[in-house]
């Protein structure tokens, strides 16, 4: 038993050389499981060299050579599971019922074969929530300390050492209602800082980085098994989605050194719970930066004009009736209470130009100020809102693909000035069974500024809840009436 724990510590200390695999399994209900495993076959052969070097430097009191440099002391084959709650492990330590319960949710498996240089270690902990996880890790620390198995003077570890090592996964925030897990930025493990000289404030040169990348090709593979379908992964590009509900994120050691941190990321998934609160799908951060842009217009000769110069005959209401909005010589203004208007024709993929203007509404704010919107195929809204010095959730401000894509910048004109939208829409594709085979896309240029760069439409732009994907053919262009006197002019479309 004692030997196995020593080996485990040695492996963790050397973990910056080989791939480290961790797995987080989150069920709908019940305990979350965290597994941490390493295939240390290659490290076994490296162990001698590392141990020699450590002996020479005498920097630390880590007597790792005794463990790793003397494989004779290890049996040729080991395949064993240590249950941390077992009497053998907790021998000589007094535990109450709660503590016994927690220790029974921790285990470690070691599978080695000296001849084949196979060495696999897997640590597993189950916990109801993060508080329980911390409680358990502290308990393991206490038990190992009281047993004096991990004696600080032998292996150079402080008392909190075991706790820190076993707490391998970064801090995260889990929202089971919404279906979102956010991993926070975390520090590079101390052992790596020592290896790279960062601890002593030594600048790492590009040559050193290249060398390290060669010496340490591995990284941390984090597999996150979620209880529902994954919607999005943000904050990292190094990920793969497997079987719809599993994400594997790889963080290379060399990137950790470059960044000076292990960068966080977030995953949204289907929580399986109906969403009743519209706030749940609001995103406020980041806030697009405001930029100043100029006005432009004029329909090209091949465009279908939906509204220009007092002629609103390209539109009607849903019931087929004539447009009840205020039709002026130059402008078409939404009339509260009359409802949305839709193009008489259906379009599908198209290029659309329109100009819109927010009314002066000094006493209104947020979503109530100058709200309208333009829908493609009657389903996908690019938001129109007075976002000039009017803060709302970022994925609901002017130019947002509503609740799906935040505009890259906020190019909204001052209240009362005209805005232009030039939008390229590609309709989604569906197979015979109605399943989506290709997402639709939107590109939006607002006052001459690119604010949506060929983004993928996730489904219908819902006020409450997640996007839906129902097969459809070409549909109308809709202008939304949202209780505000938003004006339009020069509305034209070119089918693609």
Contact residues for Mg ion (CB under 5 A)?
371, 373, 480
CA distances from residue 1 to 106, 110, 388, 401 in whole angstroms, order as listed: 15, 11, 67, 58
**Strand ranges (DSSP E) for 42-117?**
77-83, 106-113
In the bound state with Mg ion, the residue whose beta carbon lies nearer, of 447 and 480, is 480
In the bound state with Mg ion, the residue whose beta carbon lies nearer, of 23 and 377, is 377
Ramachandran sector of residue 490 (left: φ over 0; alpha: ψ -120 to 50; beta: rest): left
In the bound state with Mg ion, the residue whose beta carbon lies nearer, of 90 and 371, is 371
Q: How far is the CB of 233 from Mg ion (least distance, A)?
A: 28
In the bound state with Mg ion, the residue whose beta carbon lies nearer, of 161 and 373, is 373
Q: How far is the CB of 279 from Mg ion (least distance, A)?
A: 16
The first and second tokens of residue 35, run together, are 């597994």
In the bound state with Mg ion, the residue whose beta carbon lies nearer, of 68 and 374, is 374
Q: How far is the CB of 401 from Mg ion (least distance, A)?
A: 12
For residue 196, the Cα-to-chain-centroid distance in whole angstroms is 29
Q: How far is the CB of 383 from Mg ion (least distance, A)?
A: 5
Q: How far is the CB of 409 from Mg ion (least distance, A)?
A: 19
* Contact between residue 456 and residue 439 where contact means Cβ atoms under 8 Å apart: yes
Q: How far apart are CA 394 and CA 284, in angstroms?
A: 5
Q: Which of 440, 429, 315 is nearest to 376 (CA)?
A: 440
Q: How far is the CB of 371 from Mg ion (least distance, A)?
A: 5
Helix (H, G, I), strand (E, B) or coil at 77: strand
Cis preceding-peptide flag for 256 (omega within 30 of 0): no
The values of phi and psi at residue 487, to 5°, are: -105, 155
Ramachandran sector of residue 379 (left: φ over 0; alpha: ψ -120 to 50; beta: rest): alpha
In the bound state with Mg ion, the residue whose beta carbon lies nearer, of 101 and 284, is 284
Nearest residue (beta carbon) to Mg ion: 373
Q: Please list, residue by residue across 148-171, b when 16 or more beta carbons sit within 10 angstroms of its beta carbon and e when fewer do.
A: ebbeeebbebeeebbbebbbbbbe
In the bound state with Mg ion, the residue whose beta carbon lies nearer, of 136 and 371, is 371
In the bound state with Mg ion, the residue whose beta carbon lies nearer, of 107 and 397, is 397
Q: How far is the CB of 494 from Mg ion (least distance, A)?
A: 24
Q: How far is the CB of 372 from Mg ion (least distance, A)?
A: 6
* Contact between residue 450 and residue 440 where contact means Cβ atoms under 8 Å apart: no
């Amino acid at each position: 038993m004692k030997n196995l724990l020593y080996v485990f510590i040695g492996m963790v200390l050397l973990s910056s050389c080989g791939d480290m695999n961790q797995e987080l399994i989150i069920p709908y209900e019940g305990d979350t499981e965290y597994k941490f495993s390493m295939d240390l076959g290659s490290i076994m052969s490296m162990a001698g060299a590392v141990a020699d070097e450590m002996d020479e430097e005498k920097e630390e009191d880590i007597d790792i050579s005794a463990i790793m440099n003397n494989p004779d002391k290890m049996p040729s084959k080991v395949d064993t599971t240590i249950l941390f709650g077992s009497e053998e492990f907790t021998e000589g330590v007094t535990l109450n019922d709660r503590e016994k319960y927690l220790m029974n949710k921790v285990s470690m498996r070691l599978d080695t074969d000296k001849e084949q240089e196979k060495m696999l270690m897997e640590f597993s902990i189950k916990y109801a929530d993060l508080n329980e996880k911390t409680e358990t890790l502290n308990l393991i620390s206490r038990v190992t300390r009281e047993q004096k198995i991990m004696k600080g003077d032998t292996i150079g570890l402080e008392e909190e050492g075991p706790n820190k090592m076993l707490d391998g996964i970064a801090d995260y925030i889990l929202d089971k209602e919404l279906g979102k897990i956010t991993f926070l930025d975390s520090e590079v493990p101390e052992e790596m800082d020592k290896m790279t000289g960062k601890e002593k404030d030594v600048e790492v040169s590009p040559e050193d980085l290249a060398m390290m990348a060669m010496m340490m090709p591995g990284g941390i593979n984090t597999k996150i098994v979620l209880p529902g379908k994954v919607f999005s992964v943000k904050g990292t590009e190094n990920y793969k989605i497997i079987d719809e509900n599993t994400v594997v994120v790889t963080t290379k050691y060399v990137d950790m050194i470059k960044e000076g941190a292990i960068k966080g990321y977030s995953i949204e998934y289907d929580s399986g719970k109906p969403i009743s609160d519209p706030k749940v799908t609001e995103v406020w951060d980041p806030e697009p930066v405001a930029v100043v842009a100029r006005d432009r217009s004029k329909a090209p000769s091949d465009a279908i004009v939906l509204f220009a110069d007092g002629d609103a005959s390209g539109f009607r209401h849903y019931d087929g009736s004539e447009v009840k909005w205020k039709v002026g010589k130059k402008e078409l203004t939404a009339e509260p209470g009359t409802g949305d208007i839709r193009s008489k024709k259906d379009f599908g993929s198209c290029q659309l130009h329109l100009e819109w203007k927010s009314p002066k509404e000094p006493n209104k704010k947020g979503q109530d100020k100058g709200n309208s919107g333009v829908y493609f195929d009657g389903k996908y809204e690019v938001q129109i809102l007075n976002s000039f010095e009017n803060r709302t959730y970022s994925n609901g401000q002017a130019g947002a693909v509503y609740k799906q894509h935040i505009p890259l910048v906020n190019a909204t004109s001052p209240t009362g000035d005209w805005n232009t939208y030039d939008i390229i829409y590609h309709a989604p594709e569906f197979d015979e069974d109605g399943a989506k085979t290709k997402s639709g896309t939107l590109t939006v240029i607002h006052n001459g500024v690119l604010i949506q760069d060929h983004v993928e439409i996730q489904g219908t732009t819902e006020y409450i809840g997640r996007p839906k994907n129902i097969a459809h053919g070409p549909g109308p262009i809709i202008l939304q009436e949202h209780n505000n006197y938003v004006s339009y002019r020069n509305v034209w479309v070119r089918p693609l």
